[in-house]
Structure 1
Amino acid sequence: MKTFNNKIFIGFFVVIILGALIVSSKLSHSKKDVLTIGVLQTISHPALDAARDGAISRLKELLGDNVCIITQNAEGSAMTAQNIAASFHNNKQISAVVTIATLATQAMAKIEKEKPIIYCAVTDPKSLGLVHDKTNACGITDAVDINQLVERIKMLLPAAKNIALLFNPAEANSVSFVKDMDTILQPLDIKSLHVGVNNECEVSSAATIAFEKADAVVIPTDNTIASVMSVVAKAALKNNKPLFICDDFLFTNGVFGCTGSVNYHEAGRQAADLIMDIVNHKKTPATILAVGPAPKKMIVSQKMACALNIKIADTLKNDIEIRE
């Protein structure tokens, strides 16, 4: 009887050990299957928030509970962006990083040479040195069709001779935009006036100068200006001048036109899809490089057109979206 009891005890003990090993194996496998993604955002404003939310929601759709997302925001500080990038680089659990806008992308690309970097809301990745055959970065650009923008301005404002470009010269995306605008405007006998700001506090006075000296003001996809767009819109109303922007998330009272901008939420979702292609070894960043945005119509405010006494030609109405 004692031997029989010992056999029962040993058998029961073996079952417990085997059960524990199976559970441990499942937990270990589950933990291993969790994909950790870092998200580094340049600053908070509607467009970039939409890109972030789009990326996160898509990753959760695709992976459910098997994704861990670490989100950090530099809030416009280059030093903070660099510190966050360093922490993501040193975190061995992170498999890939989503960077939102140029500052975040620059900071991450400077330190990370192996983990995939998938950028979003970057206007000119080539100027950042990210487009080459050995790159570990790829993503979705928000480059504006500047030729179309200038063409629309000419049709809406045929008498315009001076266009002010309001931007932060420290933002590479804005500098690229301004350079292209200058090239296109020069042969058209339209002068471009550069009005730069270094921070949000300078926007109000700079906007006043821009509207006083120009027939219209154009703002690129500039994160500094975007953070205080309402200030610029008020200046447009006060000076009774047309304001053109490149981000329909910022389309508000005082803005006359918005060139065919990017759906930033969808761009974020596209970035998440690129992550899956890369981590599943279907593609590499070097084979993806930069994906351009889908074309969109220019948006024009009917209210501002009436206030500014701007007539929208019938020939243009099929090519633009008119909002009340």
Structure 2
Amino acid sequence: MKKIMLIIAMLMLVGCSSPKGNDAKVEETNKAEATTATDDKVYKVGILQFAQHGSLDNCRTGVIEGLKEAGFEEGKNLEIDYQNAQADMGINSQIADSFVSNKYDMIISIATPSAMAAYNAAMNTDIPVIYTAVTDPVEAQLATEDGKSVGNITGTSDVLPVDAQLKLIREMLPDAKNVGILHTSSEANSDSMLATYKEIAPKYNFEIVDEAINTTSDIPLATDNILTKVDVMTNLLDNTVVNSLPQILDKANAKKIPIYGSEIEQVRIGCIGSEGIEYISLGNQTGKMAAKVLKGEAKASEMPFETILEPNLYLNKKVADNLGVTLSDALTGRATELFEEISAPEAK
């Protein structure tokens, strides 16, 4: 009898332990499937670009390249919804809101107005915002004075090397006195850079003459007005102004007044020179920052914004010849790129 009871007890013990073993195997299988599902995830990213011009287009190209180099590629594990606000603040906000409504995994914003709109739209969500081509993240209230993020947002700054630009202008135009700057009164990045120009200009015996605009329609009259007061003009990273640069160049060329650009594309299409940044590289840097966040290697809120510290010298010999400006061997020798022709802006 004791033997029978012992056998029954053993059978009951085996029966109780068996499901636990099965549960453990099921749990391990589920974990493996979850890992596979995560690895196979297609990340949905919204790219919000404020305006259509060469520097911001290059930024977008660089962002996509940077993401790809870090393992995120369209058609494989990345789905990109690219939207352009065409420099319209209302459309800009609508696009940002739509990205949040669609619960994208990330918003990448190109230019200051788009970064501000994206952050405002995503502020109460867990959607990270990565920006690029934001001249002054502190002035735009996207970062604190020490460079830290104000929330779930980070990115790269295209702050201008103003001192280097003014030094270049003085080297090329020793007799120039008044430097003209067109700027959009509602763009935080323009206000910040204009203040920097005014602060540094006396070091090179320049006076800054500025003319504010509100919309693209203000450009023709503002350009005509400022050209009567200046010897030379220089561009900020002002999206509304850069969007109308071909029109501004036409008017300045007619009066033989040189215009200096803020980056390579502006020199390519007719500015005489620039101590500026190269936007594909800036975008690439941004794409790699975005990849770290998508991989979970870092949180946007924990990443200080980054900048490209060394400017590049770009010169356009054709423009210089047309304006009667001599490019010294020293200048052409250190130029990152010397353009021999003027290229029309690409049709978009």
Query: Aligning the two structures, in what range does the TM-score lie when normalised by the shorter sequence?
Result: 0.7 to 0.9
Q: Distance in 2 between matches of 1:216 and 1:282?
A: 47
Q: Distance in 2 between matches of 1:252 and 1:203?
A: 21
Query: Mean alpha-carbon deviation: is it higher for 275-284 or for 31-40?
Result: 31-40
The answer to whether the aligner puts 1:110 opposite 2:110 as a matched pair is: no
Specify the SS of the correspondent of 2:130: strand
1:103-135 deviation line (CA, Å, top 9, x unaligned): 110111123223211101111111112124452
2:72 maps to what in 1? 63
Specify the SS of the correspondent of 2:271: coil
The answer to whether the aligner puts 1:289 opposite 2:304 as a matched pair is: yes
What is the percentage of aligned positions where both structures have the same residue?
Answer: 25
The answer to whether the aligner puts 1:120 opposite 2:102 as a matched pair is: no
Q: 2:243 aligns with which of 204, 210, 227?
A: 227
Supply the AA of the counterpart residue of 2:114: A
**Alpha carbons of structure 1 residues 60 and 180: separation in structure 2 relative to 1, 3 Å:** same
The answer to whether the aligner puts 1:89 opposite 2:100 as a matched pair is: yes
Q: 2:151 aligns with which of 128, 135, 138?
A: 135
Q: CA deviation at 1:247?
A: 2.3
1:212–1:239: 8 Å Cα contact kept in structure 2?
no
Q: Distance in 2 between matches of 1:55 and 1:237?
A: 34
Q: Distance in 1 between matches of 2:62 and 2:101?
A: 26
Q: How many pairs were matched up?
A: 299
Alignment of 1:33-72 (within 5 A): 33-60=41-68, 62-64=71-73, 65-72=76-83
2:109 maps to what in 1? 99
2:267–2:315: 8 Å Cα contact kept in structure 1?
no
Specify the SS of the correspondent of 1:202: helix
The answer to whether the aligner puts 1:279 opposite 2:294 as a matched pair is: yes
1:41–1:74: 8 Å Cα contact kept in structure 2?
yes
Q: Distance in 2 between matches of 1:307 and 1:71?
A: 39
The answer to whether the aligner puts 1:243 opposite 2:253 as a matched pair is: no
1:233-276 deviation line (CA, Å, top 9, x unaligned): 11121000111110211224542112222x22232222221122
**Alpha carbons of structure 1 residues 252 and 317: separation in structure 2 relative to 1, 3 Å:** closer
1:234–1:254: 8 Å Cα contact kept in structure 2?
no
Q: Distance in 1 between matches of 2:228 and 2:99?
A: 45
**Alpha carbons of structure 1 residues 29 and 286: separation in structure 2 relative to 1, 3 Å:** closer
Q: 1:77 aligns with which of 79, 82, 88?
A: 88
RMSD: 2.5
Q: CA deviation at 1:229?
A: 1.3
1:7 maps to what in 2? none
Q: Distance in 2 between matches of 1:43 and 1:183?
A: 29
1:199 maps to what in 2? 215
1:260-312 deviation line (CA, Å, top 9, x unaligned): 22x22232222221122112222222442211125233222222323333233
Q: Distance in 1 between matches of 2:303 and 2:39?
A: 29
TM-score (norm 2): 0.78
Q: 1:210 aligns with which of 226, 242, 247?
A: 226
Specify the SS of the correspondent of 2:214: coil
Specify the SS of the correspondent of 1:160: coil
1:179-228 deviation line (CA, Å, top 9, x unaligned): 10000113544211111222222222222222221010111111112212
Supply the AA of the counterpart residue of 1:80: I
Q: Distance in 2 between matches of 1:222 and 1:322?
A: 24
1:298 maps to what in 2? 313
**Alpha carbons of structure 1 residues 49 and 316: separation in structure 2 relative to 1, 3 Å:** closer
Higher gyration radius (CA): 2
Q: Distance in 2 between matches of 1:185 and 1:31?
A: 53
Q: CA deviation at 1:60?
A: 4.8
Q: Distance in 1 between matches of 2:326 and 2:52?
A: 36
5+ long unaligned stretches in structure 1: 1-21
5+ long unaligned stretches in structure 2: 1-29, 341-348
Supply the AA of the counterpart residue of 2:117: A
Supply the AA of the counterpart residue of 1:85: A
Supply the AA of the counterpart residue of 2:44: T
2:157–2:307: 8 Å Cα contact kept in structure 1?
yes
Specify the SS of the correspondent of 2:179: strand
**Alpha carbons of structure 1 residues 98 and 296: separation in structure 2 relative to 1, 3 Å:** same
Supply the AA of the counterpart residue of 1:87: S
Q: Distance in 2 between matches of 1:161 and 1:183?
A: 15
Supply the AA of the counterpart residue of 1:221: L
Alignment of 1:303-322 (within 5 A): 303-320=318-335, 321-322=337-338
1:41–1:101: 8 Å Cα contact kept in structure 2?
yes
Supply the AA of the counterpart residue of 1:51: C
Q: Distance in 2 between matches of 1:295 and 1:91?
A: 38
Supply the AA of the counterpart residue of 1:192: I
Q: CA deviation at 1:30?
A: 7.0
